[in-house]
Amino acid sequence: MFKPKYPTPDTYTPTQHTAPDHSTALTPTTPNPAPVPIPAPAPVPVAPARPTVQLTPGSAVALMAGGGAVVLVVGTVLVSLLLAVAITGVSVAVVAVVLRLLVRDMQRGR
């Protein structure tokens, strides 16, 4: 009931798309119809040219100052993250040494 029914492969016949034959539409006694003028193609709108960006000396200095500020902020954040990782590593190492000494003292019975 729920199984789809597929056609057998040999029943498929590809259709051929050919242009219709209009030669029988006109008889010799019928005069030729007036030719239909072909309309001119619509003009394609031209995209306006993008304005060029002109940098003045003041705006160039402002861009360099902004870029320098971004570099300083990113550098500060990265250095602080590296410092936090280093401090965490040192503190974990100190805790490991202290725990090792405590376990050794417990095993000796002090």
Q: Is residue 34 predicted with pLDDT exceeding 80?
A: no
Query: Tens of pLDDT along 59-94?
Result: 999 999 999 999 999 999 999 999 999 999 999 999
Q: In 61-79, which positions are buried (b, 16+ CB within 10 angstroms) versus exposed (e)?
A: eeeeeeeeeeeeeeeeeee
Rounded Cα distance between 40 and 35, Å, is 15
User: Which pLDDT score, from 0 to 100, does residue 27 have?
Assistant: 53
Confidence of residue 12 (pLDDT cuts 50, 70, 90): low
Q: What DSSP string describes 54-109?
A: ---HHHHHHHHHHHHHHHHHHHHHHHHHHHHHHHHHHHHHHHHHHHHHHHHHHHHT
Tokens of 100: 């090792």
Confidence of residue 28 (pLDDT cuts 50, 70, 90): low
Q: Look at the pTM and tell me if it is higher than 0.75.
A: no
Q: List Cβ neighbours of 26 (8 Å cut-off, separation of 6 or more).
A: 32
Q: What type of residue sits at position 95?
A: V
Mean pLDDT of the chain: 82
Q: Is residue 17 predicted with pLDDT exceeding 80?
A: no
